[in-house]
Amino acid sequence: MEESLQVEVLWMNLCLLESLFRCLKRRVFLSQLAQLTGPLRIEASSTGSNSTISKIVNMVEDAQGREAPIQRLADTIAGPFVYSVMTLSAATFGFWYYIGSNIFPDVLLNDIAGPEGDPLLLSLKLAVDVLVVSCPCALGLATPTAILVGTSLGARQGLLIRGGDVLERLASVDHVMLDKTGTLTEGKPAVSAITSLGHEELEILQIAAAVEKTTSHPIAHAIISKAESLNLSIPVTRGQLAEPGSGTMAEVNGLLVAIGKLKWVQERFQQKTDLSDLMTLEQSVMHKSLQDSQSSNHSTTVVYVGREGEGVIGAIAISDKLREDAESTIRRLQHKGIETVLLSGDREEAVATVAKTVGIKDKFVNASLTPQQKSAAISGLQASGHRVAMVGDGINDAPSLALADVGIALQVEGQETAASNAASIILLGNRLSQVLEALDLAQATMAKVHQNLSWAVAYNAVAIPIAAGVLLPIFDFAMTPSLSGGLMAMSSIFVVSNSLLLQFHGSQKKRKENLTYKHTQKEQ
């Protein structure tokens, strides 16, 4: 008994020593790791179900479950088709048993009638052939298989498509409306110039940053970043008020300060700035901005700063570089016969400059628009019978994205925004050229749908009469049930295989583009 107790105590001591050794070893390892790489801090910002990748998976699954309108047409046809085939089968039996075998007695010599030339056997086999060879499955599979492949291929290309109905609408789009800031431009604006009327420029920037502190617009980020880079102390504000598409207002140091469009800022205060001073202010800020950025690939937006009791006291120029693929995307859209329209809340001069650079016609340029006016422009085109796609990235574009036939949102830095929530398609790559990729994919997918439906209709239109014995009196040819079953299976296999060929759409497109590029280089 004592020996067993001693063994147990010894065992416990050994276990304790092993634990202490492991702890010591772990502490040494962690201390070495800290010396090599520094402390490691991990913070979980959301649960797995709320993560970006989880939301993408859910959206793709939802998209593949949403029917395109053309699918509902196929489903509507498939129901009556089944009853029609059953009726044709009964009619085939009745015809050959009561009429056909008497009018065409030679058909009883065919092997299908058996060695004794039995009209009952002949009629039964032909009636069964009609039932077996008919293929409503091809009609039912024609659309969903193509939509499934199309949405999956889009997800691999960074195109998050919310459903087959979106692909069908996008394939027929004839007008593409584009926002300017963050869509045609990179959405990374920076302060390029500051001017004022009787105040220090740093004071203008300071109070502007205070007002914009609580907003999320790219222009606000540019102003705040500039103020922080100059180590300016940003005052605390009260009573923040934002009007989308116009500006923001708040109380700074006991006085109301407004920043935004000139007309909107002027209307906020009873004290008005002279028109001549405003013109001088605008010319000065634009001149300084042009000196800072000589490239024509920059878009300049001017926001005005006003203060209670003084009116407009300064202006800030915000420059944003055009996307590298903006001009080529617009040109290729126009080459496809799609009209490109520019909708912007910015002033006319800045919008006109961008439109000219990327190649949008003057008659399709709309400036100084509020979010409501953007939506009205889309509604006007839709009322005229046009299919409209809207491309945007910000909260001001959300109403237009929801109203358009197809809303396309560029996702910036993987963030979920009001624009991405309202859009039908999200461009995860944040590239404007993905609009073309989405359009090409939609057209290729719908082409596959039409091919599948055409095959399904043509197959049944040809196979059912042959199975019913149309060729039997003249060519002495009739199907057997086994042959009918094989043809029916082949019809479904063809539809599925044709849809799967859509996976090669991207590689075929790239090869064509490379060949076109090489041909252009040779000509040059």
Q: Which residues are catalytic?
A: 179
Please answer whether residues 168 and 70 qualify as being in contact, where contact means their C-beta atoms are separated by less than 8 angstroms. yes
Say how far apart CA 90 and CA 468 lie, in whole Å.
10
Radius of gyration of the chain (CA): 35
Q: How many CA atoms lie within 13 A of 324 on its CB side?
A: 2
DSSP 31-67: HHHHHHH--------S-GGGSHHHHHHHHHHHHHHSP
Half-sphere exposure of 322 (CA within 13 A, CB side): 22
Amino acid in position 68: A
* C-alpha distance from residue 245 to each of 228, 261, 302, 374, 421 (Å): 25, 9, 13, 10, 19
* Short-list 403, 434, 453, CA closest to 144: 453
Q: Residues 307, 314: contact at Cβ < 8 Å?
A: no
Pick from 209, 206, 219, 321: nearest CA to 261:
219
Task: Give the containing element (helix H, strand E) for 307.
Answer: strand 298-307
User: Under DSSP, is residue 252 helix (H, G, I), strand (E, B) or coil?
Assistant: strand
**CA separation for the pair 232, 206 (Å, rounded):** 7
- The rounded distance, in Å, linking the Cα atoms of 217 and 394 is 8
The answer to whether residues 185 and 320 touch, using CB atoms and an 8 Å cutoff, is: yes
**Which residue is listed with tokens 């179900």?**
49
Q: How far apart are CA 141 and CA 449, in angstroms?
A: 9
Q: Helix, strand, or coil here: 401? A: helix
Residue whose entry in the numeric block shows the structure tokens 């001073």: 277
436's CB contacts (< 8 A; 6+ apart) are: 329, 332, 333
CA 487 to chain centre: 39
Query: Hey, what's the torsion of the CAs at 196, 202, 206, 212, to 10 degrees?
Result: 60
3-state secondary structure of 347: coil
